[in-house]
Amino acid sequence: MFVNDPVADMLTRIRNGNMVFHDSVDVPLSKMKVELAKILKAEGYVRNFKVINDAKQPYSVVRIYLSYGPNRERVIQGLRRISKPGRRIYAGKDELPKVMGGLGVAVISTPEGLMTDSNARKRGLGGEVVCFVW
């Protein structure tokens, strides 16, 4: 299956799995998706993730284990892709967005790799605004 925007596909799979309370979702493997999963785990939006190289499947996958509160309330309230293949959105170090007044996280693709908006501010870096998570 060919996907034009693999990151948007990953976010949609997470969003859909979260809406129906799945324990995990599988996403085709790429370096950027693994880095995005690391950020989501570090920020507490997902429990864990694992790279699965299975000989039975035609491609490797990243299995993302979704996180829920004690009474099955959703930790991820929303995910939104910002920079798209048809329209790239960039932000300088002084223009980095804050998501929901600082309650959410903006993922930024910088020359030093993917990082959250707060880490990019600390390092004085700007870059492509990949997505918002809240």
* Residue 30 to residues 37, 55, 85, Cα–Cα distance (Å): 11, 17, 17
Read off the pLDDT of residues 42-53 as tens digits, 9 standing for 90 and up: 999 999 999 998
Question: Above 90 in pLDDT, residue 29?
Answer: yes
Read off the pLDDT of residues 113-122 as tens digits, 9 standing for 90 and up: 999 999 999 9
**Per-residue burial over 102-121, b = 16 or more CB atoms within 10 Å of its CB, e = otherwise:** eebbbbbbeeeebbbbebbb
What pLDDT, on the 0 to 100 scale, is given for residue 131? 97
Question: Above 90 in pLDDT, residue 1?
Answer: no
What pLDDT, on the 0 to 100 scale, is given for residue 59? 84
Question: Above 70 in pLDDT, residue 86?
Answer: yes
Read off the pLDDT of residues 88-99 as tens digits, 9 standing for 90 and up: 999 999 999 999
User: Long-range contacts for 33-39 (Cβ within 8 Å, ≥24 apart)?
Assistant: 33/6, 33/7, 33/62, 34/62, 35/113, 35/114, 36/7, 36/10, 36/107, 36/114, 36/130, 36/131, 37/62, 37/64, 39/105, 39/107, 39/114, 39/115, 39/116
Amino acid at residue number 119: N
Mean pLDDT of the chain: 94
Report, as an integer, the average pLDDT of 78-82. Answer: 96
